[in-house]
Structure 1
Amino acid sequence: MTLSYWEIKSWFTNIDFTIVGSGIVGLSCALRLKDQFPKANILILEKGMLPQGASTKNAGFACFGSLSEILDDLKSHSEEEVFNLVKKRVNGLQLLKETLGERAINYQNYGGYELFLNDDDLFEACLSKQVDINRLLQPIFKKDVFSMKPNSFHFKKVKEHYIFNPFEGQIDTGKMMEALLQKAQSKGIKILNNITVEGFSEAVDSVKIKTNSVEFSTSKLCIATNGFATQLIKEDVKPARAQVLITKPIDNLHIKGTFHLDKGFYYFRNIDNRILLGGGRNLDFKGEETTDFAQTYIIQNKLESILKTVILPEIPFEIEQRWSGIMGVGKLKNTIVKSLGNHVYCGVKLGGMGIAIGSLVGKELAQLIAYHD
């Protein structure tokens, strides 16, 4: 496609900051840059019709982690690192709410529940560490986070008690992204969809960007593509597909809150009187290390089985939709926010916690760029 003089002049000339990826990190970064540089010409490039990675393809959990997940993190991270991980997630969620307002994202503080299968000894392990973890997190929340509650939702094949966290919440991620997009556009930030960045090269005072439809130069380039990052840069981040399904509306669905099951590998919630259920990556870690948005029989079959036998054992349901999102993960749960050259930066590897930390990673990325400007 050949662009006109007017198109090149209006969209691809005198670009101060180009951001690749219009998800929560890319948009948050753009908004922060606009605050710091009000006259800056900011362009966001998105390869999908909508933000394509995980920002609108997740379960909408406004969470910082279940007790078993925190215990698992302590196997590969120090107590100080785990404390800082949780603190960053909490601060990121607060920043998201401050940026958009709770109503705009339909934030609901219904709490989070961790369920344990009857044949799982993880429940006892979690109970034995509950006091220690509450003590570790006390400086953040000023009270105990985890407590035990009876199984009042009548789930089957799970232990009679679950571990409750009153600080967890849920949002509507479609509304979140809609609000972020509207806010960015209202500030004059340009967003172009269906445009794929194929490569870039640094010059002395600029970066040349090659896309599937146009080549142009920008003063600064920011990579915010998370699970797709290795298509452009060499960093320690791998794609991780998360498969999800949702039922048709169910009458008198009294389930309320966010729920984790089987070490957090499965998660579900009530949204619009439907059950949204995702997970199963542990059934095929290697196979789910992909940027392909397809679904697989082994995982979808397992999700349906959990619906039938655990969540809705006596309630008829129909599945209405299935989809996948692509996260960015690594061996450790640290995000990668760094300079990759004189004019190139990245903010990637959110580890499945994009809602919690995406706003903060975007802010950190903008601050890094401003520092080097």
Structure 2
Amino acid sequence: MNLSYWELKSWLSNVDFTIVGSGIVGLTCALQLRARYPESNILLLEKGILPQGASTKNAGFACFGSLSELIDDLQHHTEEQVLHLVRQRIEGLRVLRSALGDRAIDYQQLGGYELFLNKDEQLLETCMHQLDAINSLLHPIYSEPVFEWKERSFGFQNINQKFSFNKFEGQIDTGKMMYNLMNSVLKQNIKVLNATTVEQLVDAGNKVHVKTNHFDFFSSKVFIATNGFASQLLKEDVKPARAQVLITKPIKDLEIKGTFHLDRGFYYFRNIDNRILIGGGRNLDVDGETTTDFALSDPIQDRLEQLLKTTVLPGISFDIAHRWTGIMGVGSSKNPVVKQVGNNIYCGVRLGGMGVAIGSSIGKRLAQLY
């Protein structure tokens, strides 16, 4: 790119902090850095025209883990670690709501449900057996039971009539959240450059040489907040995980309210603007979905439609309005990676599919590393 003197002077000179990625983590990090260093020159680089990854692609679940997910987490983490994960998610939601306000993100606490397909009888029995133990685990956070059993069908079919309910969970409008986060950043005199891919970072002395697909420049500090794309810049235990989603056209008299999980959280759906948004299915092809390619997969899309027809909207006519994918960042542990990775480089990645919940707290922690 042939840059002018004015462009170099105004955008790419004397940069104090460069943030790579304009998702929830990156935008929150930028706002926190501005609060801590009011006179600093902050530049945010985003590879997409709109934020890529998962921040603008997610289902808008303001949740901290379904019953079966927390039980599964205990198979791979200690009780202390699981409790810490839940605390992080709840704190992240608090930071997000405090920063923008519930109206700005259309936060609604309608509760979260976990449904059990007829074939998942063993999973249901496990959850029934472990519910009291999970409530006891979460007692230091909430003074009353988090999970309880409900019997309400919503007209669903091919599921057990008994399902778990968590009244503390909510939902947001993802688009409003990201729009208002970006507005907050721009109002704080933070520069944002879109369609700019960071290709290499060279940590040299007291500054970082930032090489992009358009230009090179120097920054005193760099903060990596690219989550699912982190492996392109970091050697950390984080890999991409593609999530596929579809949404229907408006459905008359749609009475489904709240957020819903199915099949150990591998599927999820909700009502948004009298439409059903449903996503998931990564478990059908874990290797194939370990990718940064935004393409759709026909088998997974077919499974999502099948669930709509046989379970969520049986006997109800619907049309698909739109389909999309998002790229999450996962690893061998669900603990996020928030640390210094060089003399002048820091990262906040591996959100494990909980970006809405923990993104704000990770962005805050990332800014506090310096």
- Normalization by structure 1: what TM-score? 0.98
Q: Name the residue aligned to 1:202.
A: 203
**Is 1:164 the counterpart of 2:162 in the alignment?**
no
**Map of 2:183 onto structure 1:** 182
| 1:104 corresponds to 2:104 | yes
Task: Tell me the distance in 1 between the aligned counterparts of 2:152 and 2:123.
Answer: 17
After superposition, residues 1-373 of structure 1 pair within 5 angstroms as 1-120=1-120, 121-369=122-370
Q: CA-to-partner distance for each residue in 1:274-314, whole Å, 9 max, x for gaps?
A: 00000000000000000000110110000000000000001
What's the secondary structure of 1:194's corresponding residue? Answer: coil
Q: Alignment partner of 1:202: what SS? A: strand
CA distance in 2, matches of 1:152, 1:103: 30
Which amino acid counterpart does residue 25 of structure 1 have in structure 2?
V
Q: Which runs of 5+ in 1 are unaligned?
A: none
- What is the identity, as a one-letter code, of the residue corresponding to 2:223? C
Partner Cα distance (2:75, 2:153) in 1: 32
Identity across aligned pairs (percent)?
63
Q: CA deviation at 1:124?
A: 1.1
Q: Tell me the secondary structure at the aligned position of residue 103 of structure 1.
A: helix
Q: Determine the C-alpha separation between the residues in 2 that align with 1:187 and 1:357.
A: 23
Deviations 1:48-71 (A, max 9, x none): 011000001010000000000000
Secondary structure of the equivalent of 1:88? helix
The 1-side partners of 2:306 and 2:284 are apart by 14
Q: 1:151, CA displacement in angstroms? A: 2.4
* Distance of 1:331 and 1:156 partners within structure 2: 35
- What secondary structure does 2:130 align onto? helix
Partner amino acid, structure 1, of 2:96: L
- The CA deviation at 1:119 is 2.0
Give CA deviations for 1:320-349 in whole Å, capped at 9, x if unaligned.
100000000011101001111110010000
Task: Report the count of equivalent residues.
Answer: 369
Q: Distance in 2 between matches of 1:147 and 1:299?
A: 31
**Alpha-carbon distance in 2 for matches of 1:331, 1:151:** 36
Q: Once the two structures are superposed, what CA deviation does each residue of 1:202-243 show, in whole Å capped at 9, x if it has no partner?
A: 111100101111100000011100000011111100000000
How far, CA to CA, are the matches of 1:152 and 1:158 in structure 2?
Answer: 9
The one-letter code of the counterpart of 1:95 is V
- State the alpha-carbon separation in 2 of the partners of residues 40 and 173 from structure 1: 29
Deviation of 1:139 (Å): 1.1
Separation in 1, partners of 2:34, 2:15 = 13
2:326, 2:235 → 1: CA distance?
Answer: 21
CA distance in 2, matches of 1:212, 1:146: 49
Q: Deviations over 1:8-29 (max 9, x none)?
A: 0000000000000000000000
CA distance in 2, matches of 1:240, 1:266: 14
User: How much does 1:152 deviate?
Assistant: 3.3
Structure 1 consecutive aligned stretches of length 4 or more whose deviation exceeds 2 Å = none
Distance 2:299 2:264 in 1: 19
Q: TM-score, normalised by structure 2?
A: 0.99
Q: Over residues 123-177 of structure 1, what are the superposed CA-to-partner deviations in whole Å (9 max), with x where a residue is unaligned?
A: 1110101011001101101110000011230200000111000011000011000
What's the secondary structure of 1:104's corresponding residue?
Answer: helix
Letter aligned with residue 167 of structure 1: F
RMSD: 0.6
1:45-99 deviations in Å (ceiling 9; x for gaps): 0000110000010100000000000000000000010011111101110110000
What is the alpha-carbon distance in structure 1 between the residues aligned to residue 233 and residue 364 of structure 2?
22
Question: 1-side partners of 2:125 and 2:201: how far apart?
Answer: 52
